[in-house]
Amino acid sequence: MISDNLLKQIAFIKEIDKVKYIQRKTKLFNSDRNENDAEHSWHLAIMAVVLAEHSNENIDVLKVIKMLLIHDIVEIDAGDTFIYDTQKNHTNTDEERLAANRIFGLLPEAQAEELIEIWEEFEAGETKEAKFAKSMDRLEPLLQNTSNNGGTWAEFGVDYDKVFNKKKVIKEGSEVIWDYAENLINESVDKGILKKI
């Protein structure tokens, strides 16, 4: 007899394979190949492992990693929203919440509840773990764009003010990483790969 829990978990594991098909706007490092959500989530999870020491507060790294591994799963139904999209707000749309209920709902009840809660916590960005996780999510594309001659900033005409406003939340997770990131943003202006109007 195969346990009912296991069968539900396997159904979830099969479903989330679709995350590998969701293309982000950002490209891989020094590359013109778009990154997908699974690759992105893997990278952020490792970044959290190696950068945890720079968090402003003592964090539960396992919780941060869980957040990062699952944070884009809702995009299976809701699609990827470009962070600089002016038409559609990225955060906590009803569409994303429906997606979370459907996809995490494939799991056994207690587990579904735990992961939906972790996802909501990430989206709200208020706890120390969510703040650090968000700082990872903002840092990776900054590293990518600076390696790609401006990347999505150049491609979609995003200027310094917009970048600065989106990136400054890094500071809430890590002052140390924000110092580095702010420096990188200013350097990008100097190099002419980010426009300051």
- What is the contact surface with a copy of itself in residues (CB under 8 A)? 2-3, 5-6, 9-10, 12-14, 16-17, 19-21, 28-29, 35-36, 38-39, 41-43, 45-47, 49-51, 53-54, 61-62, 65-66, 69-70, 107, 111, 140, 143, 147, 176-177, 179-180, 183
Q: Give the nearer residue to a copy of itself in terms of CB position, either 143 or 162.
A: 143
Q: Between residues 109 and 161, which has the closer beta carbon with respect to a copy of itself?
A: 109
Angle (nearest 5°) at CA 34 between 32 and 38: 145
**Strand ranges for the chain from DSSP E:** 23-27, 34-36
The nearer residue to a copy of itself, 107 or 185, going by C-beta atoms, is 107
Alpha carbon separation from 145 to 64, 110, 128, 136, 183 (Å, rounded): 24, 39, 26, 15, 14
Task: Please tell me the distance from the alpha carbon of residue 139 to that of residue 181, in angstroms, as a whole number.
Answer: 7
Q: How far apart are CB 118 and a copy of itself at their closest, in Å? A: 10
* Residue type at 190 in one-letter notation: D
CB of 90 to a copy of itself, least distance (A): 21
Cβ closer to a copy of itself: 51 or 163?
51
The sign one gets for the Cα dihedral 30, 37, 19, 76 is: negative
